[in-house]
């Protein structure tokens, strides 16, 4: 391919310069956060500004870019086609610029304000949240975080949050090469059921479990990985389940009030058995484990404080492994 004539390149440079002068570049961080969070209030919290300032910025951006960018259908916000295109291109650009400008300045959690979003299933969120708060509550007074329920775990979804806490095979096989992961914990799988269920009187044979009335956890129906046994190692033994839930807490409530059983991760079973009529028993000749990882897009690594908060998640997971409890040790 031949090089383009110099006068054409000069013309493009002048056109780009005119466009940049037309747009207030101070709005770009707000635009990036708006496209990521798809929320005026979350953008305001993440950038430590008022909601009215974000709303005003959104009006200016819509005028500059001649597009609504963020619209609401019913109660669900979503990006326009142009908004999606800008999000894909702007995020990596700003992350790279931020990393270049700030790489020699350590993140100061005691004084800097930023907001982080973790996406995971309910039991993992319940395990992590108290420990994360114990670590940042007093040491990082301006840092905020939220934990959202996992939906369809794909790269587009991952680009809208900071971290996904999910089975580690998801990162290796399904989210692409621009993804990094760190193992948080590994746990056995056990059979969980009501205390008065004869099936939970002692260790249960895998064959017995497979032929018994059962409930199961499953990723949301619209997830492309719902039937992937690599993501859910118990899937092959949960066929013909009487009921299916994408929420572990709902699963536990049904098990407690029925004679159904389910295969669940050990840490969830530990939490579910507290103050409930549930009991967990080993599954004989069943060695599958549930490996949970912290997963993130590499384009997010340049975001201010990202590496620091990743360390917070790692420390929270270490506390969970040490205590086996969702409650921080004083």
**Cβ neighbours of residue 36 under 8 Å, at least 6 residues apart?**
87, 91, 159, 160, 161
pLDDT at 27: 81
Task: Give, in order, the Cα–Cα distances in Å from 185 to each of 217, 297, 310.
Answer: 19, 20, 14
Distance CA 219, CA 327 (A): 26
Tokens (6 digits) for 25: 């570049």
Task: Give, in order, the Cα–Cα distances in Å from 97 to each of 102, 140, 292.
Answer: 8, 25, 32
Which domains are present in the chain? 6-102 (1.10.10.10), 116-330 (3.40.190.290)
Distance CA 10, CA 4 (A): 10
Tell me which H or E stretch contains 210: helix 206-211
* DSSP SS3 for 77: strand
pLDDT at 254: 95
User: Could you give the dihedral angle defined by the CA atoms of residues 122, 83, 94 and 293, in that order, rounded to the nearest 10 degrees?
Assistant: 20
pLDDT at 302: 72
pLDDT at 77: 82
Per-residue pLDDT 10s for the chain (330 aa) are 444 444 544 555 555 455 555 666 678 778 888 888 888 888 888 777 888 888 988 888 888 888 888 888 777 788 888 888 877 777 666 666 665 555 567 889 998 888 888 988 889 999 999 999 999 988 899 898 999 876 655 555 676 788 989 888 776 666 666 788 999 999 999 999 999 999 999 999 999 999 999 999 887 654 554 445 656 778 888 888 999 988 899 999 999 999 999 999 999 999 899 878 999 999 998 888 888 999 988 877 777 889 999 999 999 999 998 875 444 433
* pTM of the model as a whole: 0.67
């Amino acid at each position: 391919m031949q090089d383009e004539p110099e006068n054409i390149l000069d013309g493009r440079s002048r056109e780009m310069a005119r466009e940049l002068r037309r747009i207030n570049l101070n709005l770009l961080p707000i635009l990036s956060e708006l496209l990521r969070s798809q929320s005026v209030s979350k953008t305001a919290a993440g950038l430590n500004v008022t909601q009215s300032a974000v709303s005003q910025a959104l009006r200016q951006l819509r005028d500059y870019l001649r597009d609504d960018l963020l619209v609401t259908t019913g109660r669900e916000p979503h990006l326009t086609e142009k908004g999606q295109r800008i999000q894909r291109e702007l995020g990596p650009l700003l992350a790279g610029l931020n990393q270049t400008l700030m790489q020699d300045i350590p993140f100061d959690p005691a004084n800097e304000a930023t907001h982080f979003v973790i996406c995971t299933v309910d039991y993992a969120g319940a395990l992590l949240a108290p420990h994360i708060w114990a670590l940042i509550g007093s040491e990082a007074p301006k840092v905020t975080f939220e934990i959202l329920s996992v939906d369809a775990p794909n790269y587009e979804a991952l680009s809208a949050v900071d971290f996904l806490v999910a089975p580690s095979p998801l990162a290796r096989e399904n989210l692409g090469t621009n993804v990094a992961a760190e193992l948080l914990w590994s746990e056995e799988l056990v059979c969980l059921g009501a205390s008065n269920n004869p099936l939970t009187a002692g260790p249960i044979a895998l064959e017995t479990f497979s032929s018994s009335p059962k409930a199961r956890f499953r990723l949301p129906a619209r997830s492309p990985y719902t039937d992937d046994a690599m993501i859910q190692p118990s899937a092959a033994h949960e066929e013909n389940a009487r009921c299916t839930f994408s929420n572990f807490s709902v699963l536990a409530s049904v098990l407690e009030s029925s004679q159904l059983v389910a295969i669940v991760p050990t840490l969830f079973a530990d939490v579910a058995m507290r103050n409930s009529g549930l009991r967990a028993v080993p599954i004989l000749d069943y060695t599958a484990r549930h490996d949970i990882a912290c997963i993130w897009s590499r384009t997010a690594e340049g975001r201010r404080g990202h590496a620091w908060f990743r360390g917070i998640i790692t420390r929270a997971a270490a506390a969970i492994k040490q205590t086996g409890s969702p409650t921080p040790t004083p």
